[in-house]
Amino acid sequence: MVDNKSIFSVAMKVENGDASLSWSGAAGCMQVEDNYFIASVTKMYITVLVMKLIDEGKIRLEDKISEHLPGHFCDKIHVFKGVDYSGQLTIRHLITNTSGIPDYFFHKQENGRTVADELMEGKDEAWPLERTIGLIQGLKPKFKPGAKAAYSDSNYQLLGKIIEEVSGLSIPEIMKVYIFDPLGLKNTYIYQDTSDNMPAPFYYGSKKLWLPNYMASIGPEGGIVSTIDEVMVFLKAFFEGVFFPKEKIESLKEWKMIFPPPGLFQFGIGLEKLWIPWIVSPFKYPGEILGFWGQTGTFAFYNPKTDLYFCGATNQINGVGHRKATGLMIKTIKSTL
């Protein structure tokens, strides 16, 4: 993966259900034990928190977000074709990426620029929810709530605030109480200290990026730091019934293509599925590959057909890492069929 000169660091782990097969490897600027930003794989941890709060009767997927958020967080965040749909937004819309709320990260502003453009150029700024709300209030939503799916980090910033409001705990606190401590994760945490330089840096092309102010501000959408060993512990717990009955996984599979074909994944209720056309491998079709991508080429996926789990990081933002990781996962799965 690093030999093509487009990826400068990678660490990954492959394991089956009973751990009779377990392999870890790293190359480039990483070692297998290194900490790294798991980026949007964090959202899978948010899914666990939402499911746990539902089980405790504190929220429902159909709850209006305005029931759980202070008013200013819901004010005119979804005005589409002159109609204000802000009051109709539900927790389901957020966790399924069907809200239509603009993605503060990639949505073009009036000047033609995006927040991502600024960050990729090395302009390290914090983007807490309050700032995100201020931006998206002036942006055009993509569609009416529930009409289709479009990936938006704004959804998960709002989900994070809802979790804090209903639990009375901050995201770092509730992650520790509900996930990190029960699983015995000693090297997994929400990034908060901007002087913490332990996580491996990521790259945009050949440019190394270090964005501590930004990463410290986006806890619920992408702020977890972990290792491949500890992401593997979480991933297996997610699919093996530690947090909720395994049968509930089926209820998360309300798939919508997140991008028009040839999109790379489908989105359900806080869960992603790689979109693998049958024609790619008609004789050894891999079946479902379920989990989550991170923008920086991080990944955590499970293939039920072979009972194989994959997690790791390529630390590359421009998509090369995603393609390489997809190819490696599919090749590994096919080799066992």
Instruction: Dump pLDDT digits (tens) for 5-58.
Output: 799 999 999 999 999 999 999 999 999 999 999 999 999 999 999 999 999 999
In a domain, 1, yes or no: no
Determine contact, residues 195/215, Cβ cutoff 8 Å: no
Query: Domain total for the chain?
Result: 1
For residue 226, give the CATH number of its domain: 3.40.710.10
In a domain, 4, yes or no: no
Q: What is the pLDDT of residue 243?
A: 98
Contacts 24+ apart (CB under 8 A), 169-178: 171/219, 171/220, 171/223, 172/219, 174/49, 175/45, 175/49, 175/224, 178/48, 178/49, 178/52
Q: What is the pLDDT of residue 260?
A: 59
Q: Residue 209 belongs to what H/E stretch? A: strand 207-209
In a domain, 69, yes or no: yes
Q: Which domain holds residue 214?
A: 9-336
Q: What is the pLDDT of residue 281?
A: 81
Under-70 pLDDT residues of the chain: 259-263
In a domain, 272, yes or no: yes
Residue 316, beta-bridge partner list: 203
Give yes or no for a cis peptide into 262 (omega within 30° of 0).
yes
Q: What is the pLDDT of residue 262?
A: 47
In a domain, 62, yes or no: yes
In a domain, 73, yes or no: yes
Q: Fill in the amino acid letter for 310.
A: F
